[in-house]
Amino acid sequence: MIYHKKYLISFVLLFIVEVVIARYASGFLRHTIGDVIAPILVYCFIKSFTHISVSKALIVVLLISFAIEFLQLSNLQNMYPKNIAYYLKIILGTSFDIGDLIAYTLGLVIVYVIEKINHQF
């Protein structure tokens, strides 16, 4: 059940942007802007289907983002057969980078500011 259409529309648009960035961009655009957008994408997805508060959603997305980044330290994506490892590399990435944690946090700060402006708290 969809609870918030604006978040679902935002999710779909951001997903398209992320796919275009992943497919056609490189350098700063792909590795930084894509990482800033990723937690915003997850936030919009969660808010589309739940009545969770803004602050709780921000915390959940931060935990998910950081967990995925720290899983890269485990080398989990290379411990499975190639067909599974391929998908794990897409989901988890391939190497830990503290810059990614900063980008995820920046993305969530952007969400916080937008939600504050829109008086969603």
Whether the CB-CB separation of 50 and 3 falls below 8 Å is answered with yes
Q: Which domain holds residue 69?
A: 5-117
Q: Which pLDDT score is estimated for 113?
A: 97
Q: Which pLDDT score is estimated for 103?
A: 97
Q: What's the length of the chain?
A: 121
Number of H helices and E strands in the chain, helices first, is: 6, 0
- CA separation for the pair 10, 69 (Å, rounded): 24
Considering its fold, how many domains does the chain have in total?
A: 1
Q: Which pLDDT score is estimated for 120?
A: 60
- CA separation for the pair 62, 105 (Å, rounded): 7
For the stretch 54-66, pLDDT in tens is 999 999 999 999 9
Least confident of 41-45, 51-55, 60-64, 78-82: 78-82
pTM of the model: 0.88
> If phi over 0 gives left and psi between -120 and 50 gives alpha, with beta otherwise, what is residue 27?
left
Beta carbons within 8 Å of 41's beta carbon, 6+ residues apart? 11, 14, 15, 18
Q: Which pLDDT score is estimated for 91?
A: 74
Q: Which pLDDT score is estimated for 25?
A: 87
For the stretch 14-31, pLDDT in tens is 999 999 998 898 888 988
Q: What is residue 74's DSSP assignment?
A: G
> If phi over 0 gives left and psi between -120 and 50 gives alpha, with beta otherwise, what is residue 119?
left
Q: Which pLDDT score is estimated for 95?
A: 83
Higher per-residue confidence, 19 vs 77: 19
